[in-house]
Structure 1
Amino acid sequence: MTIELRQLRYFLAVAEENHFGRAAARLHMTQPPLSQTIQALEADLGTPLFQRTRRSVGLTPAGAALLPEARRILQQAAALPELARRAAAGESGTLTLSFVSTADYNVLPPLLREFRERYPQVRIELREATSDVQLADLMQGRIDAGLLIPPLDEKARTELDYMTVLSEPLVLAAPQGLKALRSKGRAAAASLQAVAGLPLIIFPRRIAPALHDAILGCFRDAGLTPSIGQEAIQMQTIVGLVSAGMGIALVPQSVSNLKRPGVEYRPLAAASATVDTGLAWRRDNASPVLHAFLELLRKKS
């Protein structure tokens, strides 16, 4: 049994008018085909929907139960064209976005705020993940896009597109009150030579090779070989270990927005390497929501 929207519209007109003649006039049709359609609907449902007399038409208990559901179904059907238009324009749907922990201190909050303001009907699913995990998820189609630290490996470059969103220098994160830094002002630049004796806390190279290599490159340019004391995959953990006096770290400048007791941030006296954060996505992903997100990002860059 299939109930058509046309049958529900006819039923609703008769129920609201309490009269077949007035309902037929409202529907711009003659009464006989209206009556036949209602009779066919009642036959399909196996129960009368109207109590008919010569002077009036009233709903049966079955008709009264059907009335609110018929209204709901017709309202939902009327909303379908607008729903489809919004989905095609990227104004509704779901965006699954992964991000590295460093993005939480720079590009992610303002980007999400502006996207939510423009597309309030879009549901955003956020997942914090390291760059290597994001690349695997993108290749498998488990996420729409990822804010990550490049580079993309050779296989990923054949299937993914990439856009640089931010480039920023590395700064020193050191335990507060170090004697080597005490003689300088709190905002003064620091040299790596002054803290070279302290253990270095760093991302594992397999997790973020570009960031790992940029950090070691700063020491190499200063003629130093650091002693790696700890490795951690979350920026919060790295800064927490610095706060605990476990060593120093070189972090992207925006991480200085992470205020942690016992940690001070200093720019480096020598020119430091820059670290990129960018967005990667599958080249064959035709999601209108993703492309609306990309359009916003391109306008901001």
Structure 2
Amino acid sequence: MEFRHLRYFLALAEELHFGRAAQRLSISQPPLSLNIQQLEASVGAQLFTRNSRGVQLTAAGQAFVPAARALLAQASDAAREAREVAEGQSGELHIGFAGTMLYCGLPQLLSRFQASHPRLKLVLLELSSSEQLSELVRDRLDVGFVHTPRVPPGFDQVLVVSQPLVACLPQSHPLARADVVGLDQLRGEALVVVSRTVSPDYHARILSECEQAGWLPPAVHELRHWLSVVSLVSQGQGVALVPQALQQSALAGVAFVPLAQADVRYDTRCLWRSGRDQMALKDFVQAVSADFAPAG
């Protein structure tokens, strides 16, 4: 059974006249008759009766009409879905991101992109940089926003955000109202950081900067999320060095003060697999490049 057979069958079922059905299909009567015979052989039942009064549907033919229409509709829907996926207008796009991107323009980008791709499903996953790298390599993510320069082989990247780290201090801290603070001025303070397992590059960078400033924290509190870091600082449990964008979190009880070491920065890269034949991904990367360039 072929889709052609179904189209010919429905045309004849609706016209109940070989001549009119053939004209409607832009074919001659012999090919129409042959295709109906092939369909009946495939179904294993007579679908039409032919006599001097014309053509009539048999009981089997009447039962076959809604099924034939449904099959053709499903085929049409499948073809349309395939075209829309090929054009980047349908399907799914799995996007990983670290939490700070919520304060760096990602929600606005997603809103604009969704408006231009209304039938495309955006699946968002908040993951650490390490988790994103693992998911990207396994093709469980289409694109990720990571805070690491360690780009795996076979992936393209674009720098989307480069922001300074700032000191995050309890509001009661003596330096909370300072215009600028040096890392050496935080000597003796407990340090609150995102854990080594979640963000190994950031963790190593912060401890290295403290060491270069002659500051070895007496205690290091490791948390999984940036907002947890800021929240713990607000309760007076230490100080932190956090991306500047977290000032937008508006959590009470903390102050954000620029660092004297202005070169201590926090970079975010967008990663995706090279040469991926996925129009939705290409459109999204183009939108990212247009929104965030020239980040570097």
TM-score range with shorter-chain normalisation?
A: 0.7 to 0.9
For structure 2, the residue ranges without an aligned partner over 5 or more in a row are none
Distance 1:263 1:131 in 2: 26
* Count of residues in correspondence between the two structures: 292
Matching residue within 253, 256, 268 for 1:262 = 253
CA RMSD across the alignment: 2.9
Distance 2:9 2:143 in 1: 48
Q: Contact 1:256–1:265 at 8 Å: present in 2 too?
A: yes
Q: Contact 2:188–2:215 at 8 Å: present in 1 too?
A: no
CA change 1:238–1:19 in 2 (3 A) is same
User: What amino acid sits opposite 1:228 in the alignment?
Assistant: A
Distance 1:49 1:248 in 2: 81
Q: Contact 2:49–2:58 at 8 Å: present in 1 too?
A: yes
Q: Contact 1:139–1:159 at 8 Å: present in 2 too?
A: no
Matched, 1:108 2:102: no
2:174 aligns to what?
Answer: 180
CA change 1:179–1:299 in 2 (3 A) is closer
- What is the 5 A alignment of 1:229-240? 229-240=220-231
Matching residue within 278, 284, 287 for 1:287 = 278
Matched, 1:164 2:159: yes
Distance 1:288 1:32 in 2: 44
Distance 1:114 1:62 in 2: 52
Matching residue within 52, 66, 69 for 1:68 = 66
For structure 1, the residue ranges without an aligned partner over 5 or more in a row are none
Shift of 1:179: 4.5
1:18 aligns to what?
Answer: 16
What TM-score results when the alignment is normalised by the length of structure 1?
0.82
CA change 1:61–1:259 in 2 (3 A) is farther
1:226-263 per-residue CA deviation (whole Å, 9 max, x = no partner) reads 33331012213222322333222211111222233433
- What is the 5 A alignment of 1:101-250? 101-152=99-150, 156=152, 158-175=153-170, 177-181=171-175, 184=177, 188-190=179-181, 192=183, 196-216=187-207, 218-220=209-211, 222-250=213-241
User: What amino acid sits opposite 2:172 in the alignment?
Assistant: L
User: What amino acid sits opposite 2:11 in the alignment?
Assistant: A
Distance 2:94 2:32 in 1: 49
Shift of 1:11: 0.8
- The alignment partner of 1:257 has SS state of helix
What TM-score results when the alignment is normalised by the length of structure 2?
0.84
Return 54-63 or 142-151, whichever deviates more.
54-63
Distance 2:139 2:26 in 1: 51
- The alignment partner of 2:217 has SS state of coil
- The alignment partner of 2:215 has SS state of coil
Q: Contact 2:196–2:222 at 8 Å: present in 1 too?
A: no
Shift of 1:43: 2.6
Distance 2:289 2:74 in 1: 35
1:273 aligns to what?
Answer: 264
Distance 2:212 2:23 in 1: 88
Q: Contact 2:93–2:281 at 8 Å: present in 1 too?
A: yes
Distance 2:27 2:94 in 1: 49
